[in-house]
Amino acid sequence: MHYRDFHRESIANPDEFWRREAARIHWETPFDQVLDRSNPPFARWFCGGRTNLCFNAVDRHLAARAQQNALVYVSTETGIERRYTYADLHAEVNRMAAVMRSLGVGRGDRVLIYLPMIPEAVFAMLACARLGAIHSVVFGGFAAPSLAARIDDAKPALLVTADAGARGGKVIDYTPLVDEAMARAAHAPPKVLLIDRQLAPERLNAPYLVDYEPLREQHYDVQIPCEWLESNEPSYILYTSGTTGKPKGVQRDVGGYAVALAASMEYIFEGRAGDTMFTASDIGWVVGHSYIIYAPLLAGMTTVMYEGTPIRPDGGIWWRLVEQHRINLMFTAPTAIRVLKKQDPALLRAADLSSLRTLFLAGEPLDEPTAEWISEALDKPVVDNYWQTETGWPMLAIQRGVEALPPKLGSPGVPCYGYDLVLRSEHTGEPCAQGEKGVITLGYPLPPGCMQTVWGDDARFVKTYWESVPGQQVYSTFDWGVQDADGYVTILGRTDDVINVAGHRLGTREIEEAISSHAAVAEVAVVGVNDAVKGQAALAFVVLRDANAAASPADAQKLAAALAATVDRQLGAIGRPARVHFVPMLPKTRSGKLLRRAIAALAEGHEPGDLPTIEDASALLSIREAVSAGNG
Ligand code: PRX
């Protein structure tokens, strides 16, 4: 098959193209319309069809692969390793669903999942899908105020949590965070279901605490039928960062998502039933939702879920996992590879990697040295793929299951089938010429699997994503790119104030709001700068209410530490700036707009280029001085 024809057909005849792909999943009731485009920019896929994600991911495989492993769990933090066949997974999901139902969870209810990487997180997500409830997983690294904000937006009927997470040998106690979030939230759920790992001694507040284990025993043999949902009912909400401090709830459907993931397994990942896939991400991120859980299970594969870091007990752990579990497909972020590159290469060579077919990398730019190193070290194809929480599956990749086009260093490849991807001028909205930098946009309709809307805020969905390119109703990715004559796109960074630290997407506004909550702070600007390992690092430039508060180096250091601790408390340690610089003022335009791009350029040590008329030029100088002095 030729990629070009395949892609062209998917855009020219989406109805026929996706009708064919829809046969990959079970429809309890067939759909009567493939695509409803009567209300742009909204699109509805497989209208009238009724299906269930849990049925397709679990029950459907019982006939042929009940005894095949569905989930292999490895925690190098606790030393626990467990295997669940499809039959086991089915039983555990039924138990979890029965427990949730006994707590009043039903179709359309939201369940907020705040869990570390434990098998119960998978059971809980699939149990929601089974019941027709809408899960919203919040990454365990987020602090209480962030958790509370997500609770208030989703208004869940239940929160599921654990006593603790663990990372790098450190136990992270969830109890105080959850108690604080419950106290802060205006829409706190009546109950919190606790998975007790017995890692931390504290107990949640009694009025809402429900222990999972005794309830699981009680519901051990209960069977919960799958709720057949119309294809366009929501399956989940996943919050992600944008330009404002308020995260957006990306809402996804049921049928479109199932079809899109199942198709991606063949055309992009070349995964087949019976294969084993190891996606080293977190269930709190979209890569975890799509490629730890739903896609491999929809395809009848074995998924490996890992709690731990890539370098503990040593930098060979992932490669030994490949050997031990005969892993065929591996998926992680470039950051992890940059970390592993610093380890002894003998650790990689020591493992038998013969089962591994392909390594997939996504989430941030894959720099050329890292790409070259890992391709050579593994001697297997390395497939960079570009996408977002919003799209749910890759927009750009070499689609090896369609045609193994040659990779080009520095580019994630060509547009994936279903995506009408066009680079456009930020000023005119017109398509860019070859080699000209532009905003990466998608034409209407987005293919199946992409976000339906912003949870509870259709207007925000339309305004944010579909009205930001001048004169065109197209979806903006908020990424810059450039496309070559062969259609390969290279990503050149975000057009908005989102940064990407170690593959974690963060809004600089969110970090700024956290820092501003400290009493000593008058003003702050946070920007992302290049970082050799993490891709980007956040730098904070802070104007103090009392400039003397950081006059001595010791005071400055103390205050910087206090601000970092504030970020930890307000947002979570993932948002902590790498450095805090104290400056007398921030560069702004005459109308008071912060000149973030100029600040970022100076912070990276180059000149800011063309600038609008600014209020006070000495502000730029003070940024430059702060960076070179390295104060804070
Ligand atoms: O800026 C792009 C970058 O990560 C953003 C999306 O992050 P998130 O919503 O967390 O979803 C990650 C899903 C893989 C994008 O807007 N990004 C993602 N993949 C790549 C990338 N930048 C360059 N190359 C990539 N392969």
| Contact assessment for residue 327 and residue 295, using Cβ atoms and an 8 Å cutoff | no
Q: Which residues pair with 500 in a beta bridge?
A: 505
Domains along the chain?
A: 502-629 (3.30.300.30)
500 touches ligand 1 (CB under 6 Å): yes
388 touches ligand 1 (CB under 6 Å): yes
Q: What is the pLDDT of residue 189?
A: 98
Using CA positions, which residue lies closest to atom 25 of ligand 1?
386
**What residue has token string 């507040």?**
205
479 touches ligand 1 (CB under 6 Å): yes
Nearest in space to 356 (alpha carbons), one of 318, 400, 386: 318
What's CA 345's distance to the chain center, in Å? 29
Secondary structure string (H, E, C) spanning 17-83: HHHHHHHHCCCCECCCEEEECCCCCCCEEEECCEECHHHHHCHHHHHHHCCCEEEEEEECCCCCEEE
Residues whose CB falls within 8 Å of the CB of residue 299, separated by 6 or more in sequence, listed in order: 262, 265, 271, 272, 273, 275
- Return the ligand 1 atom nearest residue 494 CA: 1
Using CA positions, which residue lies closest to atom 24 of ligand 1?
365
Using CA positions, which residue lies closest to atom 2 of ligand 1?
364
**What residue has token string 């904000």?**
149
- Return the ligand 1 atom nearest residue 385 CA: 26
Query: Residue 297 gets which letter from DSSP?
Result: H
Mean pLDDT in each 10-residue stretch from start to end of the chain (632 residues)? Answer: 96 98 98 98 98 98 98 98 98 98 98 98 99 97 95 98 96 97 98 97 96 98 98 98 86 98 98 98 97 98 98 96 98 96 90 98 95 95 98 98 96 98 97 97 98 98 97 97 98 93 92 96 95 94 94 95 96 94 92 88 84 78 85 46
Give me ligand 1 centre to Cα 505, in Å. 8
Give me ligand 1 centre to Cα 147, in Å. 23
Q: What is the pLDDT of residue 503?
A: 86
Phi-psi region of 261 (alpha: psi -120 to 50; beta: other; left: phi over 0): alpha
Q: How many whole angstroms separate alpha carbon 195 and alpha carbon 193?
A: 7
Q: What is the pLDDT of residue 632?
A: 45
Element (H, E) at 131: helix 119-131
Give me ligand 1 centre to Cα 58, in Å. 29
Nearest in space to 503 (alpha carbons), one of 341, 347, 339, 626: 339
Q: What is the pLDDT of residue 611?
A: 73
Q: What is the pLDDT of residue 631?
A: 47
Using CA positions, which residue lies closest to atom 26 of ligand 1?
386
Give me ligand 1 centre to Cα 456, in Å. 24
Helix (H/G/I), strand (E/B), else coil: 458: helix
Q: What is the pLDDT of residue 229?
A: 98
Residue 39, classified by CB atoms within 10 Å of its CB into exposed (0-12), middle (13-18) or buried (19+), is exposed
Q: What is the pLDDT of residue 122?
A: 98
Q: How many whole angstroms separate alpha carbon 107 and alpha carbon 54?
A: 13
Q: What is the pLDDT of residue 614?
A: 73
Using CA positions, which residue lies closest to atom 15 of ligand 1?
388
